[in-house]
Chain A
């Protein structure tokens, strides 16, 4: 056991820290940490960070590890800080539509508990039903429901953050309207653990809708889907989600699955009927299927899991009106898929925000191999950025991540970002490299 490990172990109970031989599951972009610690309270988090500072150990905070594959490749990983054991819902005040929870609480666990009082947190980020609240906020990622409810920044009212140099910051509070000072909470949301460890979150809940209905419109191809989805989005109402879904060519070993536009309606019973009429009217077709209640929820739970088993996950964005074009570009990327391995290529697009996810089961390494993939992604990113869009390489073979980076050009924000990192993490030990700078 090395000296740092001995210091860390000295502060923790048995089982709260594991060392190099057992850390395989916590590998980040092929960098295995020297240790993984499971602090049980924020004082322990601060203590771990202060030791890490003294020993110049690089730390990456996480929850249950769902997101370790996404995000930029860290410069170094010595210690992974998992908040798995800080997983309690601390308070739920139904009258105030308010909750307070530890950062490591699982999102599905939180939803289960608040639903007993007819409430929910309308967030459905990719993969994260099992993921933790703290990580969801730290990554700032949202799913289809962003169309009506926004992203984590819109739900979080407050947080306790332990900064890189071990200070506790209590940001925000319990109330929805709060402009008492600069909004540092916004900086923490989506900071990928580079500014601090989110140990506690307070947030705003919503009443569970009376009715949950999904309308599925089948289309000939994804191009038709994109056009139809944009048409539906322009209906004069706010829809909970409008998603273009293209299943893999060989899902469950079967071929020939059809692309659909999935429209989710979350309203009172009476309003759902009316919303359906408006959507169908707007779509100009009576050809659709209805999924009600649990089946509607299950359909969108599947959307959360679409990235599972993918070797390459990309997030493309242009202005939403250009979704049909973006979809066409996406099909060119489909060529990168190995035609003989796995389920092929899946796509899911948020029609309201113009974000398209492409999931490729296995990258084709035959003609030109990864060099071809690299060249195509490089050109695509430049072209999207030049038109005000973006390309994020969420998951990819390590060579690609290393050469192209996960994120694109942060533009004029780079200097500010470096300044902010120095402010919150003067020792430079937190998640360096996870975000673009």
Chain B
């Protein structure tokens, strides 16, 4: 593919960030042709890897001057194609921005560059008994900048909340190169919550360069059980029953039968019974003295909803074994199908049993294997459709089934994405959940941050032509 970056700009960029950090050779751009959603591929015109806010500001200044659009990118683990860039766009990556600028245990705050890996922050805070709460499945690879862009979640968000709850301040650079300092812990400035609206803006408003986040003290104790069910609907009802009991588990995760069997047939086998139709991980954390009573009440609820077996972890090792089926689900499924479409949608918790039934029905009707592994406590579903990209006819069925699943979730009072974002993948579903005025308002707000429409083009918002009138 022909690289479309004008030579003069390339030279200027190289002078700003260093020759090694402007990539234009087609073989090197290949690594940036997709993110975690591999169904979409397209190499960018160039990749620039600045090292700090100042460089990003200068790089954006040059690119906006030349009317070249920009796509921000962290680790590229996103699952909605948010970091996908066309040949006319330049990717600005944060791969070199990995410094933890300040760790302030006394105030339980950290200031990091946006390329810092999620798990690395918790590791750095660990000697002080602190950690960073949001824990997306990709936390050992994904960056905090990416987490801010997607407002990422994770299994433990049930109790602790998602990224937006923890981000207290941001340094961002808008398309014209302007650097903005937004928020700051505890500050009351008579300003709108610009940090709040920036979180989850999927790179469409600007590039995040520095992030101030809150850290939490590590809970004193953790207790985990695994409930085994013959019907997935029963597991769904157990989730509702546990929450209605007034309990607040740290995590409530369901792994369905097809996923259990995929894991147990793989090298990741964790000892789940392969004839079960659902496994429910229930985890409580906090003060030791409260945990045993909480677990006991959760067990009663699981049994009442038909759990045939309950396993409790007596040691950290056993606890990790109970999590095995959840944590290794995607790896295991990758072994039984060439391609995996990881879907993401949310429904009100009490509607889980019914929506799970509908998903299973949709799967049979389209003759597709759908495996569910998801954050049940939040009602955040991840139906994973297994397929083979080479089979065009099957791919068409995957797309149809996906759309029907989204519609079923929206009809149940839910939404089209709980934590993966809209990106390029779900733009056409936006009209399922938003009307004309809401989409126009989003477009208007984007224009306030990015009047030249240079940031992450073609993401999140559907084209005007697709809008309902």
> For the complex, is B1 an interface residue (Cβ under 8 Å from A)?
no
**Is B74 an interface position by the 8 A CB rule?**
no
Known interface pairs A271-B286, A274-B289, A317-B187. Does A179 touch B196 (Cβ–Cβ under 8 Å)? Answer: no
Q: Mark B428-460, 1 if CB is under 8 A from A, else 0.
A: 001001110111011011111100000000001
Contacts of A96 in B (CB 8 A): 243, 348-350, 379
Q: Could you say which residues of chain B place their CB within 8 Å of the CB of A72?
A: 190
| Complex Cα gap A206–B247 (Å) | 9
Contacts of A174 in B (CB 8 A): 348, 413-414
- Whether B186 pairs with A355 at a CB distance below 8 angstroms is yes
User: Across the interface, which residues of A come within 8 angstroms of B200, CB to CB?
Assistant: 179, 182-183
20 further A-B contacts with Cβ under 8 Å, apart from A173-B414, A186-B164, A237-B286, are A93-B350, A96-B350, A153-B164, A154-B165, A169-B437, A173-B415, A175-B380, A181-B433, A183-B151, A183-B164, A267-B286, A315-B188, A321-B107, A389-B187, A392-B188, A410-B190, A413-B191, A417-B191, A423-B441, A424-B444
Q: Which residues of A contact B253 (CB under 8 A)?
A: none
Q: Judge whether A406 is part of the interface by a CB distance below 8 angstroms.
A: yes
Q: Report A97-136 residues with CB < 8 Å from chain B CB.
A: 97-98, 118-119
What residues of chain A lie closer than 8 Å to B178, measured between beta carbons?
412
Is B201's CB under 8 angstroms from A182's CB? yes
Query: B189 interface residue, CB < 8 Å from A?
Result: yes
Chain B interface residues toward A at CB < 8 A:
104, 106-107, 109, 129, 150-151, 153, 157, 161-162, 164-165, 178-182, 184-194, 196-197, 199-201, 204, 216-218, 220, 240, 243-244, 246-248, 286-290, 293-294, 346-350, 375, 378-380, 413-422, 426, 430, 433-435, 437-439, 441-442, 444-449, 460-461
Q: Compute how far the CA of A261 lies from the CA of B189 in the bound complex, rounded to whole angstroms.
A: 27
Instruction: List B contacts of A329 (CB < 8 A).
Output: none
Q: Complex Cα distance A175/B434, Å?
A: 15
Closest CB in chain A relative to B244 CB, distance in Å: 5
Please name all residues of chain B whose beta carbon is closer than 8 Å to the beta carbon of A424 when the two chains form the complex: 441, 444
Name the interface residues of A401-432: CB closer than 8 Å to any CB of B: 406-413, 416-417, 419-420, 423-424
B289–A181 touching, CB < 8 Å: no
Q: Can you list 19 A-B pairs, Cβ within 8 angstroms, ordered by A? A: A94-B244, A98-B348, A170-B434, A175-B347, A175-B414, A180-B433, A182-B200, A182-B442, A182-B446, A183-B164, A195-B192, A237-B286, A271-B287, A273-B289, A274-B288, A317-B187, A354-B186, A416-B180, A423-B448
Among candidates B180, B244, B447, residue contacting A413 with C-beta atoms closer than 8 Å: B180
Which 9 pairs across A and B sit closest by C-beta, in order of nearness? A407-B190, A186-B196, A436-B190, A271-B290, A207-B246, A177-B418, A419-B448, A274-B289, A423-B444
* Complex interface bits, A161-184 against B, C-beta within 8 A gives 1, otherwise 0: 001000111110111111111111
The answer to whether A183 and B188 have CB atoms under 8 Å apart is no
Known pairs A319-B107, A411-B181; A95 contacts B240 (CB<8 A)? yes
- Judge whether B218 and A95 touch: CB under 8 Å: no
Closest to A181 in B: B442
Residues from chain B with a CB closer than 8 A to the CB of A245 are none
Nearest CB of A to B171, in Å: 10
Closest Cβ neighbor of B171 among chain A residues: A412
**Neighbouring A residues of B179 by C-beta, 8 Å:** 412
Residues of A within 8 A of B189 (CB): 390, 407-411, 413, 436
Q: Is the CB of A179 within 8 A of B419?
A: yes
Shortest CB–CB separation between residue B274 and chain A, in angstroms?
30
Q: In the bound complex, what is the Cα–Cα distance between A238 and B380 (angstroms)?
A: 26
Contact (Cβ within 8 A) B151 A179: yes
The CA of A217 and the CA of B193, in the complex, are separated in Å by 35
Measured CA separation A154–B415 after assembly (Å)? 18
- The complex places the Cα of A435 from the Cα of B190 at a distance, in Å, of 5
Task: Report the number of A-B residue pairs with Cβ-Cβ less than 8 Å.
Answer: 253
What's the Cα separation between A436 and B418 when bound, in Å? 33
Report the separation of the CA atoms of residues A319 and B168 in the bound assembly, to the nearest whole angstrom.
12
Complex contacts, B441 vs chain A, CB 8 Å: 163, 167, 169, 184, 423-424
Contacting residues, chain B, for A50 (C-beta < 8 A): none
Please pick, from B218, B422, B438, the residue contacting A170 in the complex, using a CB distance under 8 A: B438
Contact present for B190 and A236 (CB under 8 Å): no
Question: Chain A nearest CB: distance from B457 CB in Å?
Answer: 15
Interface residues in A164-214 (C-beta closer than 8 Å to B) = 167-171, 173-184, 186-187, 189-191, 195, 206-208, 210
User: Which chain B residues border A392 with CB–CB below 8 Å?
Assistant: 188, 190
Known contacts: A355-B188, A413-B194, A417-B191. The answer to whether A184 contacts B445 by CB under 8 A is yes
- Bound together, the chains give a CA A408 to CA B191 distance in angstroms of 9
Give complex CA distance A342, B278 in Å.
Answer: 66
A101–B429 Cα distance when bound, in Å, is 28
Given contacts A179-B200, A183-B164, contact A390 B188 (CB under 8 A): yes
Contact of A406 with B438 at beta-carbon distance under 8 Å, contacts A97-B243, A173-B433, A416-B180 already known: no
* Interface assignment of A339: CB less than 8 Å from any CB of chain B: no
Are A238 and B349 neighbours in the complex by a CB distance under 8 Å?
no
Residue-by-residue, is A351-389 near B (CB-CB < 8 Å gives 1, otherwise 0)? 001110000000000000000000000000000000011
A13 at the interface (CB under 8 A from B): no
Closest chain A residue, CB of each to CB of B216 = A238
Q: Determine whether A234 belongs to the interface, using a CB cutoff of 8 Å to chain B.
A: yes
Task: A274 to B292: give the CA distance in the assembly, Å.
Answer: 13
- State which residues 308-324 of A face B: CB under 8 Å: 315, 317-321
Q: How far does the Cβ of B156 sit from chain A's closest Cβ, in whole Å?
A: 12
| Interface residue ranges of A293-348 to B (CB < 8 Å) | 315, 317-321
Tell me whether A150 is interfacial, beta carbon within 8 Å. Answer: yes
Closest residue of B by beta carbon distance from A407 = B190
